[in-house]
């Protein structure tokens, strides 16, 4: 069955960097766009970034633009999120999600990872 | 940015009830609207995509409707496992945005 497994979360000081990874399995990773979505403790869902199936395009929420970079390695079936200049407000569970877009339909998130917690604190 | 406003923010209901959650977009988004259910400590689960299409494996008591800017999620015959948080989600344009969520609690 489709699996998305995030790793790389932890406690980090403000201004430091962290890289999240998401290992995908049981589907053709190179055929799907991928996103990162986060959820601050006790709060709602916030879209963070997207990357096309082939890595040709990406986009970011204004709150992370210029600080975070989404990338992928289709040969390793892995999605990444490089997070620089971290702030307290970046504290959240980060979910890796699969974009279920097909021609004639809409982007939706049909598979989610279990999430990895990033805590930004001194 | 497209703002998504859900109502109500919380809702109390009983097993067997029919409940409706609404989501309004700040501009027209055609049918680029999805609904998710999230239980505490778990990842969200896709229920409805493209406003009214039921995701595989989701019980038929869940249904979605709407187009343009106004959408509804209806649960007909609440089951104990349905008490959770629900989020709408627009994928019409970036930045992709979610509603603030609706917490469905047992009365």
- pLDDT band, very low/low/confident/very high, at A97 (cuts 50, 70, 90): very high
> pLDDT tens digit string along A22-79?
999 999 999 999 999 999 999 999 999 999 999 999 999 999 999 999 999 999 999 9
Percentage of the residues of chain B whose pLDDT score is greater than 70: 100
Span between the terminal Cα atoms of chain A, in Å: 39
Distance of residue A12 Cα from the nearest chain B Cα, in angstroms: 22
Residue A104 pLDDT more than 80? Answer: no
Contact state of A106 with B91 under an 8 Å Cβ cutoff: yes
Residue B85 pLDDT more than 90? Answer: yes
Distance of residue B72 Cα from the nearest chain A Cα, in angstroms: 17
Nearest by CB to B43, which of A35, A105, A114?
Answer: A114
The pLDDT assigned to A64 comes to 98
Q: Report the alpha-carbon distance of residue B25 to residue A69 in Å, rounded.
A: 28
Residue A97 near residue A35 (C-beta atoms within 8 A): yes
More reliable by pLDDT, A109 or A105: A109
Residue B99 pLDDT more than 80? Answer: yes
Contact state of B94 with A109 under an 8 Å Cβ cutoff: no
State the burial class of residue B96 (Cβ atoms within 10 Å of its Cβ: 0-12, 13-18, 19+): buried
Cβ contacts of A110 within 8 Å, gap of 6 or more = A98, A100, B46, B49, B55
The pLDDT assigned to A103 comes to 75
The pLDDT assigned to B95 comes to 97
Residue B61 pLDDT more than 80? Answer: yes
The pLDDT assigned to A52 comes to 96
Contact state of A50 with B101 under an 8 Å Cβ cutoff: no
Contact state of A106 with B50 under an 8 Å Cβ cutoff: yes
Residue in chain B closest to A109 (alpha carbons) equals: B46
The pLDDT assigned to A100 comes to 93
A contact set with B (CB within 8 A): 35, 44-47, 50, 59, 61-62, 95, 100-101, 105-110, 112-115
Tell me the average pLDDT across A13-22.
Answer: 98
Distance of residue A74 Cα from the nearest chain B Cα, in angstroms: 24
The dihedral region occupied by B61, where left means phi > 0, alpha psi between -120 and 50, and beta the remainder, is alpha
Q: By the CB < 8 Å criterion, does B9 face chain A?
A: no
Average pLDDT of chain B, as a whole number? 97
- pLDDT band, very low/low/confident/very high, at B50 (cuts 50, 70, 90): very high
Buried b (16+ CB within 10 A) or exposed e, A19-38: ebbbbbeeeebeebbbbbbb
């Amino acid at each position: 069955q489709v699996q998305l497994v995030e790793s790389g979360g932890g406690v980090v000081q403000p201004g430091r960097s962290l890289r999240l990874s998401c290992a995908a399995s049981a589907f053709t990773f190179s055929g799907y766009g991928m996103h990162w979505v986060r959820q601050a403790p006790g709060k709602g869902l916030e879209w963070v970034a997207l990357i096309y199936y082939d890595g040709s395009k990406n986009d970011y929420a204004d709150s992370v633009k210029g600080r975070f970079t989404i990338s992928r390695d289709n040969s390793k079936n892995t999605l990444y999120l490089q997070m620089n200049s971290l702030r307290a407000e970046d504290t959240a569970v980060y979910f890796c999600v699969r974009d279920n877009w097909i021609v004639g339909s809409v982007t939706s998130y049909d598979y989610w990872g279990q999430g990895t917690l990033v805590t930004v604190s001194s | 940015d497209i703002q998504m406003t859900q109502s109500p923010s919380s809702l109390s209901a009983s097993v067997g009830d029919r409940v409706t959650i609404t989501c309004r977009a700040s501009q027209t988004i055609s049918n680029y609207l999805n609904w998710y259910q999230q239980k505490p400590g778990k990842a969200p689960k896709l229920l409805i995509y493209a406003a009214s299409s039921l995701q595989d494996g989701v019980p038929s008591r869940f249904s979605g409707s709407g187009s343009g800017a106004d959408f509804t999620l209806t649960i007909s015959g609440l089951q104990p496992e349905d008490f959770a948080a629900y989020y709408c989600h627009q994928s019409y344009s970036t930045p992709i945005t979610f509603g603030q969520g609706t917490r469905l609690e047992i009365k």
